[in-house]
Structure 1
Amino acid sequence: MKKLTIVGAGGYGKVVADIAIKNGYEYITFVDDNPLIKDCYGFPVVGTLKDLKNNDTDIVVAIGNATFREKIMKSVTKDRLVSLAHPNSVIAEDVTIGPGTIIMAGAVINPGVKIGCGCIVNTSSSIDHDCLIEDFVHVAVGAHIAGTCFIGKKTWIGAGAILSNNTSIISDVTIGAGTVVIKDIKEPGIYVGVPAERIEKEDCANMKNSDINKKSERELNI
């Protein structure tokens, strides 16, 4: 029997559970440090993070925050971490995918792509040929990365963002929803707009709170 423990009993965890079912897992449980959560997507929450050491299941971490995801993944042995791909994703034969990475429905990953550990390639996103995606990157819903791009560790590519071909992004960058990146990003930070421009966190707060631009944090994806 294929057994899986999912870390994180939230919305992301529900999606991962559905993918796990489609990958043949028959026994699925969750762990979560919130004692008020008793089940997720019809599966029981059986303990907290410290209880991961008490079972022999495969493990996948369904937490959106890259820093937390990295910390949890490093606390368990690599041989227990699994990657999962939705059967309705399209993945070229030579693509390499690190442990703990999740590929969601409708995602397209073309030849020559290398994806690191603990990444999220979200619903209906795409990564074109010969891209290198480092560990703990999140390619959000509907984002598109053109060919021969480099994405540094723990970078977040927001929903609907577009990266032009041959562009490179340093680690620890947040690309806002709908942003278009047409040149290399060499400094960590938050980037929004068409074309992408770096903004300060204070400017980001003003954008969220202004009467002119009433985009919520969720809409901005930053």
Structure 2
Amino acid sequence: MSGPLLVLGSGGHGRVVADVAALCGYERIAFLDDAPATGADLPFPVLGPLTMLGELASDWPMAIAAVGHNGVRQKLFQSLRDAGFAQPAIVHPTAVISPNARLGEGVFVAALAVVNVGASIGDATILNTGARIDHDCAIGAACHIAPGATLSGGVTVGARAWLGTGCSVRQGITIADDAVVGVGAAVVSDLPDAITYVGVPARPLTGP
């Protein structure tokens, strides 16, 4: 892929997305951010706040929402769609994506992630470093599958769910919209509610 790319968000995740986009051959990359971090080592310029989207559309036809918060990222994705921007999937060169898998618009796939045959990844979802999505999984829109998370075959993940670092999900499991799975959790039964689940096996988080 080549051409100019706007990255919405210059925080940690935004910088990772921009870095991978450069590896993928995007020739011109810049950030938009309402409150860029001071002192951050930004590899590309910050053109200004998000309100500049409309005036930049003709010169920057492609953009990607690159903030970590799932709900905010989904809203930015919709704003980009409404404004007519193309939203490419950005995939690290070391990721392995089956030719028979489907990536939605604005998806980010980090280094060493794997997406196997028949899997479907919803718009604006993050598959982070080393995430493994096995055959026939269905990942909803604006999810975040954190580093090292492993989903066995046929798992269904609802929109905006967050699956924590190193968690494991048994085959055939369904996870609700907006559910959060804790770091290292083992999911062996369906998670039906938009709450946080932790532990081995994963169970609802209670108490402080």
Q: Which bracket does the TM-score occupy, shorter chain normalised?
A: over 0.9
Q: Could you tell me how far apart the structure 2 residues matched to 1:65 and 1:49 are?
A: 16
Equivalence for 1:130? 136
Structure 2 CA distance for partners of 1:35 and 1:150, relative to 1, 3 Å: closer
Counterpart check, 1:116 vs 2:107: no
Code of the residue aligned with 1:170 in structure 2: it is A
68, 72, 75: which one aligns with 2:72? 68
Superposition deviation, residue 61 in structure 1 = 1.0
Deviations 1:107-156 (CA, angstroms, capped at 9, x unpaired): 01110001110000000110000000010111000000000110000000
Cα deviation, residue 180, structure 1: 0.4
Give the TM-score of the pair, scaled to structure 1: 0.87
Q: Which amino acid aligns with 1:197?
A: R
Question: Counterpart in 2 of 1:19?
Answer: 20
Q: What is the distance in 1 between the residues matched to 2:43 and 2:12?
A: 13
Write the mapping of 1:7-156 to structure 2, written as runs, cut at 5 A.
Answer: 7-34=8-35, 37=38, 41-56=42-57, 57=60, 58-77=62-81, 79-156=85-162
Looking at structure 2, the residues matched to 162 and 36 of structure 1 have their Cα atoms a distance apart, in angstroms, of 33
**Cα-to-partner distance string for 1:6-47 (whole Å, 9 max, x where unaligned):** 011111111111110111111110011116648753211011
Q: Which residue of 1 aligns with 2:180?
A: 174
Give the secondary structure class of the aligned counterpart of 1:111: coil
**Cα gap change, 1:199/1:91 in structure 2, threshold over 3 Å: closer, same or farther?**
same
Number of residue-to-residue matches in the alignment: 202
Does structure 1 conserve the Cα–Cα contact (< 8 Å) formed by 2:31 and 2:44?
yes
Cα distance change, pair 55–105 in 1 and its aligned pair in 2 (3 A): same
TM-score (norm 2): 0.93
Q: Give secondary structure in 1 for the equivalent of 2:76.
A: helix
Where 1:46 maps in the other structure, the secondary structure is strand
Tell whether the 8 Å contact from 1:30 to 1:40 is kept in structure 2 after alignment: no
| Partner Cα separation in structure 2 for residue 7 and residue 37 of structure 1 | 16
Tell me, in whole angstroms, the C-alpha distance in 1 between the residues paired with 2:125 and 2:103: 9
Please give the root-mean-square deviation of Cα atoms over the aligned residues, in Å: 1.5
